[in-house]
A and B are shown apart, each in its own frame.
Chain A
Amino acid sequence: EDQVTQSPEALRLQEGESSSLNCSYTVSGLRGLFWYRQDPGKGPEFLFTLYSAGEEKEKERLKATLTKKESFLHITAPKPEDSATYLCAVQSRGHALNFGKGTSLLVTP
């Protein structure tokens, strides 16, 4: 059975203070690992898909990396507008995405 564990559950950063969010996974035949951002009262918004170990993708202050057991979402010099819940999900064998419980990020000025 696929398992996705995200840590920490919550993270508070000062503006400009870089950090990383972790997503550990157990899956039989990884088809893709996904990162989403979710703002309060809204649906998740797609950020990245990673397919194989060693792959990296970047978007503005965010960079996602993937190993065979985990993925990291690195946030460089965050701003208050980066505050949101970040969700990690895995897809295996063509099945629907299996989501972790998310990391709630708060960036203070």
Chain B
Amino acid sequence: IAGITQAPTSQILAAGRRMTLRCTQDMRHNAMYWYRQDLGLGLRLIHYSNTAGTTGKGEVPDGYSVSRANTDDFPLTLASAVPSQTSVYFCASSEDVSRGYGYTFGSGTRLTVV
């Protein structure tokens, strides 16, 4: 089934630990995105990639890094997790960054930092 696969589904992580959230798409979409969703704050953009080999910062990038070595994969790394990074993380993709392409979202990773 075409779409976005995120892993893990959920994780409890000790503060200070490093973690990589995985995101893979099989639709050959050019653009990919990472959002976090928090109660009362909605979806906020962390990082994005308009095409393989390029990345950019979103609204809340601090404490996170990304890479885009190929079209399909867009991992999100927390170098040293803090409790404020407890959230649900969604990866998304779109065919192109130009006008009007809807995003396809993964099912999310629920991360708890303790």
A-side residues, CB < 8 A to B, are: 31-32, 34, 41-46, 49, 51, 87, 89, 91, 94, 96-102
Contacts and interface: CB of A to CB of B under 8 A. Distances in A.
A101 B105 contact: no
Contacts of A51: 99-100
A101 B42 contact: yes
B13 to A, nearest CB: 19
Given A44-B90, A96-B58, A87 B43 contact: yes
A42 B41 contact: no
Contact of B102 (A49, A99, A100, A101): A49
Contacts, number: 55
A41 B107 CA distance: 8
B99 A97 contact: no
Contacts of A87: 42-43
B99 A101 contact: no
Interface centre among B43, B45, B90, B107 (most CB of A within 10 A): B43
A74 B61 CA distance: 35
A44 B100 contact: no
A44 B105 contact: yes
Interface centre among A31, A89, A94, A96 (most CB of B within 10 A): A96
A91 B90 contact: no
17 contacts: A31-B100, A34-B102, A41-B107, A42-B107, A42-B108, A43-B90, A43-B92, A43-B105, A44-B43, A44-B90, A44-B103, A45-B105, A49-B100, A49-B102, A51-B99, A91-B99, A91-B100
A96 B33 contact: yes
B42 A43 contact: no
Contacts of A49: 100, 102
B106 interface: yes
Nearest to A47: B102
